[in-house]
Structure 1
Amino acid sequence: MVASAEKQEIVVNLYRPNAPMIGQCVETYSIVGEGAPGLTKHIVLSLPDPRYKYLEGQSVGIIPPGEDAKGKPHKPRLYSIASTRFGDDGQGRTVSLSVKRAEHVDKDTGEPGVGVCSGFLTDLKAGDEVMITGPSGKTFLLPEDETANLILIATGTGIAPFRAFIKHLFEEDPNYQGNIWLFFGVPTSSTLLYQGDLEAWKAQYGDRFRVDYAISREQQTADGKKMYVQNRMAEYGSELWEMLQKPNTYTYICGLKGMEDGINSFMAPLAEQAGQDWSKFQKELKRADRWHEETY
């Protein structure tokens, strides 16, 4: 968890765009299965400055090399951190990212292209230099409550901060006593990022860790439509509503913005049945720091 003393010492914007830190790619590998649509990689970067410390839920800025169309240096792109505060090296001297290669077709020329930063990152080889800014963000951190029960909702690379959350709480925090329930939405089975880790945690921690997948191109709802993460959650609507009534339940949402409307659409009638207004109740959860969204 994040103790109050740690929150006071959170490092933010130690390195800025005009003077970034120069790290190196330590390791990079694909985290999608064979035949997956698109490429997503786990990328480990070195942090040469020991003052660069981060917590689970923060983001790191990456400045791709070169210049933009106006001849100016590229602005940093923010990526949620996929490693715990100790890094994948266990020493806190690395930071890990989950990066999907953004591919598109130029409307005018019909030529294929890739995102400036995602293309740069997914092309990295061990030893390549990377301009790093940050760390950034204070709003997506873990709670202080060691009995907290977490509802984690992710799509695609939105799983990145939750890999960090789960690994830290179960493997690094001996005082954590709560449970974690993850809902993870992806298009195909081959794009279930970190599935090996998730299944290992499920096997090791039993009832303390639940995971439900929504695989939109392979699974269907009861009425024959595509199974998105909000549809999978709706199957457990009453149980989720009951959990949200407890003061030690914290919800985190990371990924595509579209899922927010889907979540609201099945939570609203549940709230109404309980004589409450969902939008008001959700605002209360946010004010109490029990509902966090990081969507794009």
Structure 2
Amino acid sequence: MKLFYGIALIGATQALQMPIQAFKRTTLLRSSNPADECGVDMTNPCGPDMEANKKKGGGAPPTTLNEPFELFDPEEEAKLQGTGDLRARLELGAKFNLASGLNSYYEFNKSPSPPDDVMLSPCQDFLEHLDDNGTSDPPMNTIKAKAPGVATVLGVGKLITEDAPGDIRHVVLSVPEGFHYTEGQSLSVIPPGVDGKGKKYAPRLYSIASTRYGDTYDGKSVSLCVRRAEYYDPVTGNVDPEKKGVCSDFLCNLKPGDVVDVAGPVGKTMCLPKESLSTTPIIMIGTGTGVAPFRSFAHRLFVENTVASHIYKSKALLYLGVPVTGGLLYKSEFDHMERQSGGKFEAKYAISREMANEEGGKMYVQDLIKKDGDMLFDMVDNEGAVVYFCGLKGMMPGVLEAFEGICVKKGLDFKEKMGEWKKAGKWHVEVY
């Protein structure tokens, strides 16, 4: 008989407020009383509305009297691979690493891991009902653009170094009450002001870079990875401030406490597989800020202590293209996942201005795909892998050419094979 391991998810903690109010890790004894020591009503712990249990700290169904278990403190153990240091992510930006802070990462890495014969109780994961463990559609347009909700800025941090081109920011927003989303969806942001015709600006879509629980792990925040859209004058080589991106510039300039009009969530294309997630290999291919949905995937599968992370037994590959090393987004986090996943997660980078492909030219994402062609084809065709693309539209011709080359070498018709993969739900694209 399998037991259930208790994890208490402490809600309503605001990551950027001082002082932080949170429960500390505590060893308790299970009780035969329907209300355990956390004060949680265990007579009906599960269901779509977990708000009551979440506010009381979660809990674990009683199984054996006097059996010790530990409460899980997301403030200390759930954010950014156990560091609990969302502030450092925002303040240090590209310099952030898991060894920064008061102690080394390993000092903080104490998230409870249940033994092989122990299962997590879905009762403790208060937002798992959003897609019913992958069997139903995610939330869609719960807030309409015509009547947007108001999100509050918790923090904004630069993600790339000064030598990297452009400006990319990690933006954390506290979302309106009741606004929820799942990994792979997008958020609509309505920038303030009006356009040249005097009309309100249209909503801009941004891929969500956090899991449904947010970087604050209370289910009340959302994180975006935003590149400031800039236009460089071809003559002077300087940025033309008159041609900056309206919404991206607005987001990158935000300060804690500012408010943003938002709507959504939207999108089903980039969501994780609905069925057989635990055994489905995942191939993620992106450029620049196209890494956003993949960060949400990776956090869900390899970081957060939820059912999804414990049932995932397959392999996830990330291919990310950037111009320089200082432009690698969330590398410290992905490095951690590689170390801790037991080989289930691997990140590969194409740094175009610093690496050369086999022909001696610049290294792009498609060159990595060509190099791993046989392995990737086998993963998709024989192991049931699902492929995701996210990033600049200009990357797609090279990526498609790489996959076509793989098919040609195998004597297969590329269009036919592509049609087969798309019909089977193995091919997902979101470009801009």
Give the TM-score normalised by structure 2: 0.65
> What SS does the corresponding residue of 2:430 show, helix, strand or coil?
strand
1:83–1:95 contact (8 Å) kept in structure 2: yes
- Residues 84-116 of structure 1, C-alpha deviations (whole Å, 9 max, x = no match): 011111111000000011111478998434210
The equivalent position to 1:246 in structure 2, one of 353, 364, 382, is 382
1:32-111 alignment runs, 5 A limit: 32-50=160-178, 52-105=179-232, 111=240
Q: What is the aligned residue count?
A: 295
- Residues 34-60 of structure 1, C-alpha deviations (whole Å, 9 max, x = no match): 32211100000011222x110000000
1:32–1:190 contact (8 Å) kept in structure 2: yes
Please say if 1:182 is aligned against 2:304.
no
Please say if 1:161 is aligned against 2:293.
yes
Residue matched to 1:131: 261
Are residues 108 and 182 of structure 1, via their aligned partners in 2, closer, same or farther at CA, if it must alter by over 3 Å? closer
- Residues 10-55 of structure 1, C-alpha deviations (whole Å, 9 max, x = no match): 21111122210011101110111232211100000011222x1100
- 1 CA distance for matches of 2:137 and 2:344? 30
Q: CA deviation at 1:276?
A: 1.6
> What SS does the corresponding residue of 1:258 show, helix, strand or coil?
helix
Residue matched to 2:392: 256
- 2 CA distance for matches of 1:277 and 1:7? 33
RMSD: 2.0
The equivalent position to 2:417 in structure 1, one of 281, 285, 292, is 281
Residue matched to 1:271: 407
1:137-156 alignment runs, 5 A limit: 137-143=267-273, 144-145=275-276, 146-156=278-288
Are residues 108 and 258 of structure 1, via their aligned partners in 2, closer, same or farther at CA, if it must alter by over 3 Å? closer
Q: Larger RCO: Structure 1 or Structure 2 (Cα < 8 Å, ≥ 6 residues apart)?
A: 1
Are residues 199 and 289 of structure 1, via their aligned partners in 2, closer, same or farther at CA, if it must alter by over 3 Å? same
Please say if 1:112 is aligned against 2:241.
yes
Q: Which has the higher strand share?
A: 1
- The alignment-based identity, stated in percent, is 42
Q: CA deviation at 1:247?
A: 4.5
Please say if 1:198 is aligned against 2:327.
no
Give the TM-score normalised by structure 1: 0.94
- Residues 154-202 of structure 1, C-alpha deviations (whole Å, 9 max, x = no match): 1000000000001101123211111111110001101001011011111
Q: CA deviation at 1:212?
A: 0.9
- 2 CA distance for matches of 1:56 and 1:126? 24
Gaps of 5+ in 1: none
- 2 CA distance for matches of 1:8 and 1:222? 44
1:106–1:112 contact (8 Å) kept in structure 2: no
1:105–1:112 contact (8 Å) kept in structure 2: no
Please say if 1:122 is aligned against 2:252.
yes
Residue matched to 1:28: 156
> What SS does the corresponding residue of 2:183 show, helix, strand or coil?
coil
> What SS does the corresponding residue of 1:119 show, helix, strand or coil?
helix
Which amino acid letter does the alignment assign opposite residue 209 of structure 2? A
2:131–2:137 contact (8 Å) kept in structure 1: no
Larger radius of gyration: 2
